[in-house]
Amino acid sequence: MNLDLTEEQKLIQQTAKEFAEAELAPVAGELDRGGDQQPFFDNLRKLAELGFMGLNVREEYGGAETGVVAFSLALTEISRACASTAVTVSVNNMVCEVIQAVGSEEQRRQYIPRICSGEYPAGAFALTESGAGSDPAGMTTTAVLEGDQWVLNGSKIFITSAPYAGVFVVWAVTDKQAPKGKGISCFLIERETPGLSIGKQEEKMGQHASATNEVVFSDCRVPKDALMGRLNDGFRVAVGELAGGRIGIGSLALGVGLAAIDCATRYALERKQFGHKLADFQAIQWKIADTFTELEAARLLLMNAAFQKEQGRSYARAASMAKLFASESANRACYEALQIHGGYGYTSDFPVERYARDARITTIYEGTSEIQRLIIARDILRSFG
């Protein structure tokens, strides 16, 4: 097994690293504190120009066509500097991929290039509802065909990039009589469609620069051809895309965790107590050793999942394992980093308190750690059965 990166993958990783250090890191703290949001949007546009909004999208639709491994590498570097930017990039890539996978040729050519080019600052993935989070099959938003139009009613919550998304991938029940999860379809809905409104923006613990809102559909009428993929086949599409999204969120978590422990290691080499550098104490050395070891294991799990997806193999279990371990490891890394900083880690004078807040959500979105364990266990038990 060759674990070396290709020259193209190395170039993408290095480009992402340099951009993150030069453009994202200098403004991340101010964005987190609610400062001017324009640099956030400027950086999204620059990332689109560099090709980062469609890394696993074919060139004919405006994508970079560099593959899943490159996507994971790039997202890790971006999230080292700004998790809010990273989650936007992750969701944009996911939206492009789902349109590419099941959209019509007209839908692909109409929407994917707009996201990849930055014409749309973002795309949005509208699946979660207040009563259907970990159980998306329990959604209640409906789409009813009236003549040559679908009429949607209901609401979605926790939708990343909702206020500035150009297009929404929306799931709704199209057959109320079908067994649970079997009567759900997928739609593409443009931002300015009458009947679609953006609701309350959540006041979150972290990732402040990335907007997270409710999206409401009130007699929202869209053309018949807004349906994406086959009628009543949307739940299967959602499950498949969530598996790929877990590679993105796992990579994001890894980047935040690495940023935190890098910061703590530098601090341990500078800070002195009892006449010695913190790094001289075995207690601190073991924290550093254990954390870097866990994050390296997370990296390898993510590379394995990304490679399997890139090769067209079954990768759902690998993606869940990678997301579970990377997100939990990143949270531990952030808290160890904060502990190494002592009281200073609890202040905004150092970025580790932001890293800890930004990392916390990674064990929740794209499927909680508990859901990942269910997916992994069921797949293992199925293989034995």
Alpha carbon distance 91, 160 (integer Å): 8
CATH fold for the domain made of 241-384: Butyryl-CoA Dehydrogenase, subunit A; domain 3 (1.20.140)
**Which band of pLDDT confidence, cut at 50, 70 and 90, is reported for residue 2?**
confident
Residues 258, 249 contacting (CB under 8 angstroms): no
CA-based angle 125:43:334, to the nearest 5?
75
Strands 184-190 and 165-173: antiparallel
How confident is the model over 331-349, as a mean pLDDT? Answer: 97
How confident is the model over 23-30, as a mean pLDDT? Answer: 97
Phi, psi of 208 (to 5 degrees): -65, -30
Q: What CATH architecture is 7-122?
A: Orthogonal Bundle (1.10)
Give the model confidence (pLDDT) of 269-318 as tens digits.
Answer: 999 999 999 999 999 999 999 999 999 999 999 999 999 999 999 999 99
CATH fold for the domain made of 125-234: Butyryl-CoA Dehydrogenase, subunit A; domain 2 (2.40.110)
pLDDT at 246: 96
Tokens linked to 40: 């956030």
Q: Which of 35, 383, 2, 21 has its CA nearest to residue 209?
A: 35
pLDDT at 29: 96
Q: Which of 259, 357, 367, 361 has its CA nearest to residue 323?
A: 367
How many Å separate Cα 100 from the centre of its chain? 18
Q: Any idea which residues carry the catalytic annotation?
A: 366
**Which band of pLDDT confidence, cut at 50, 70 and 90, is reported for residue 321?**
very high
Whole-model pTM: value is 0.96
Instruction: Give yes or no for residue 1 having a pLDDT over 70.
Output: no
**Which band of pLDDT confidence, cut at 50, 70 and 90, is reported for residue 198?**
very high
Percent of the chain with pLDDT over 90: 96
Domain ranges of the chain: 7-122, 125-234, 241-384
Instruction: Give yes or no for residue 257 having a pLDDT over 90.
Output: yes
